[in-house]
Structure 1
Amino acid sequence: MKLLILDRDGVINEDSDAYIKSVDEWIPIPGSIDAIAQLSKAGWTVAVATNQSGIARGYYDLATLEAMHTRLRELVAEQGGEVGKIVYCPHGPDEGCNCRKPLPGMLKTIADHYGVDLAGLWFVGDSMGDLEAAVAVDSQPVLVKTGKGSKTLGKTLPANTLIFEDLAAVARALIHT
């Protein structure tokens, strides 16, 4: 199985320090929907692991989050692709869960769902927490410059982090290798 795991905000859709609180605020990054569809059509399963502490903070509810994910699935389907498992952490940063990145709980949930080993598997994110979650399970950390990615570039990245302009560039690299 060819499995790719993506962070959501800043990788697939525009990010906001004020949180993405509605379907109207969920705006895809140019090229990201097509990238997921192209990967899917090329035989990749594309899963999503996303911190969503806005739920714990009361900014939006689970129904709103599910509506955003339904919109993502619809847009990718319109391009002939499919989105795999979407896992989210609804907890705040101080709740002590094991799923909130940089902890690897969501990545392990996806691996268990598909029955795969995370070693070497690419996890694409835009933050240091995403990269640290990848390293925690021996996955390949992949940084995109969208979202918080340009700011993350200024930090000391984990060894062997791959860097791409955006999700479309990641898709081109995976499809044409």
Structure 2
Amino acid sequence: MAIDNVRAARDVTEHLIGLGRTRIAALGAQDNSASGTAPLRLAGYRQALAAHGLPETVAKVERYRRHEGAAAMAALLEHRPDAVFCFNDLLALGAMRTILSAGLRVPEDIALAGLDDIEDGRYSTPTLTTLAPDKAELARIAVDLLKRRIDGLPGHPPQETRAGYRLMARESTLGR
């Protein structure tokens, strides 16, 4: 049970492209992640760029932490992206700090978007554009699946269930 991470990453990247950004970097790829969200989000990012004939720039991290976002963003500044899609909001908040510390402006110089809609992003300056999973739907699905298991439905095959999401376009891509 999760959101469709490929489609979600593609949608966030399409949002940045729709704003006229053409040098969009991805921050959050992982060498050690054959499964999980990183390869799915990277695939969605790549699909969006390929559909528009845009080049890709990818920054890797070991873990999804603020300090890793800050360090990866410092390396990305050498490539001068005009937008960055971070694979989660913690990475985006770290990246934002590095961008602002370098004397650049968000979103005027570099638009920034994350994924997960953590509360900190609503209070950052500027507020963080993010993709918000439908947490109520995720909870409902989890309870339904647990109830089915408790009810002992024999031989019930594992199923993949997708919850919805929505783009929360805020100041880090739209400005004030």
**Superposition TM-score, scaled by structure 2 size:** 0.46
**Superposition TM-score, scaled by structure 1 size:** 0.46
Q: Which has the higher helix share?
A: 2
